[in-house]
Amino acid sequence: MLSGCRILPGYPATSTTIALWLSDSSGLSDNEHDDCSLAVGFFRVTRQITECLLSGCRILPGYPATGIETVYNKFIRTFLRIVTIVVLKIIEVIVIAYKERIKPEHLRILEILLTRTKISRDDYYYFLNLKKGFEGELVFDAYTKQFKLDHFFLNDLQLEIRRAPFQVDALMIRTNLLILYEIKNFEGIYKWGAEKFTKTTGTELENPSLQLQKTKVRLELLLQEKGYSLKVDAYVIFVNPEFTLLGTPNDSNFILPSQIPGHFRNIQAAPELNAEQIKLAETLMNLHDSSYPRKKTQYTYSDLKKGITCPECGTLAEKFSGYSQVCTKCGNKMNVNKAIRSSIEDFHTLFPEIKLTSRRMMDWCGCGNDMRVYRVLKKNYRMIGKNRGRYYI
């Protein structure tokens, strides 16, 4: 027994897993413990002697106990605490089934590199495509939130079946049905073709339904491999209101900008996810490969300019001083401490394998007060080690 639980010799007590919540050592006495211990008749026992005992609490004669009113009140408080914890656990499980969209790591890397070095022409156009695609996905997410369907979606999954990778922009989970969306942020007037779209200027784009079909087949194969036999509906959804597609067949799986509100209004969603849907969502998220793509832009620390960046326009300031300073390009008055911390996060994004040391961060943030960089590290990160081996996480 724990020393904080004073049980007389011979006193009948209960030892069970729920003792973690109801025992004298689970936060109900002045000695708080997290480990499982003996529960005394499921009621609290303290050091106050009283003659008024609960009939259900088998207290031996002379054992110090609490009056019925105190016991009742504290039991109710404990019960409510248990209910709160259980509810929070349930909410946590439900939230697991919703994968929020985050900015792609490669897009974030290219954004940082643009402020600190010159990148190749191919990398720049790749950056523009990533940026436009991500902006389109955010527009799609705004629609799902508007129609209160966002908690039924798994966003931006990178999966693989039989060594064949495929990306899922958005996947809606419904009872006995999955809806797959390929999100496109095309702009301008195009003419439909079975294999490609042609712009009036002569620009050609691959018909996205070809990629959608591959993704749909691979997703179905993956589901079968994991023991799920669910129907998958698939659509290409064009979110840019300035996109027009001429000659679209009536039986196509396209959702044009003017059709988006009607499409989501027609979806009858269940009020909440059931256990099977949550399990499926967890399975797919566990299969998500966050390291994709493996081939990324090449860069080295020595090639990058040092300094802090303006949060408004991204301009690099190679010198900093004071608590705030004005951006030389956009005129924004930026908080220097926040800009230092943002630059440290940029470094960690570019070089996740390199330890954050005060000397390295002082060099990375450019010319300025070194103690300010040190204070930002000390305040916002956890220090590991001592002296020369010290670093931050």
pLDDT in tens, 173-182: 887 889 999 9
- pLDDT reported for residue 246: 93
Residue type, 193: G
pLDDT, average across residues 246-265:
91
- pLDDT reported for residue 76: 75
- pLDDT reported for residue 129: 93
Paired residues of 170 in beta bridges? 155, 181
pLDDT in tens, 147-171: 887 678 899 999 999 888 999 999 9
Q: Is the pLDDT reported for residue 45 higher than 50?
A: no
* Mean pLDDT taken over the chain: 79
- pLDDT reported for residue 47: 39
pLDDT, average across residues 11-16:
44
d(CA 321, CA 323): 7
Is residue 332 within 8 A of residue 311, CB to CB? The reply is yes
pLDDT, average across residues 14-30:
37
Lowest mean pLDDT among 85-99, 113-127, 282-296, 330-344: 85-99
Q: Is the pLDDT reported for residue 38 higher than 60?
A: no
Calculate what percentage of the chain has a pLDDT beyond 70: 74
pLDDT band (50, 70, 90) for residue 24: very low
Is residue 292 within 8 A of residue 193, CB to CB? The reply is no
- pLDDT reported for residue 181: 96
pLDDT, average across residues 310-327:
88
d(CA 342, CA 263): 40
pLDDT, average across residues 327-332:
87
Q: Is the pLDDT reported for residue 202 higher than 50?
A: yes
Q: Is the pLDDT reported for residue 53 higher than 60?
A: no
- pLDDT reported for residue 150: 66
Q: Which of 63, 26, 60, 61 has its CA nearest to residue 42?
A: 26
d(CA 94, CA 87): 11
pLDDT in tens, 88-113: 554 444 433 356 788 988 999 999 99
pLDDT in tens, 214-233: 999 999 999 999 999 889 99
pLDDT in tens, 347-384: 999 999 999 999 999 999 998 888 999 999 999 999 99
Paired residues of 204 in beta bridges? 198
pLDDT, average across residues 20-31:
37
Q: Is the pLDDT reported for residue 236 higher than 90?
A: yes
- pLDDT reported for residue 2: 41
pLDDT, average across residues 202-224:
94
- pLDDT reported for residue 176: 80
Lowest mean pLDDT among 7-21, 139-153, 210-224: 7-21
pLDDT band (50, 70, 90) for residue 42: very low
Paired residues of 177 in beta bridges? 174, 231
Dihedral sign for Cα 261, 263, 269, 273, please. Answer: negative
pLDDT, average across residues 332-361:
93
d(CA 184, CA 244): 12
The HSE-up count of residue 16 (CA atoms within 13 Å, CB side) is 9
Question: Per mean pLDDT, which of 90-94, 239-243, 248-252, 329-333 is the most reliable?
Answer: 239-243
Is residue 238 within 8 A of residue 187, CB to CB? The reply is no
CA 27 to centroid of chain Cα atoms: 32
- pLDDT reported for residue 28: 39
pLDDT band (50, 70, 90) for residue 36: very low
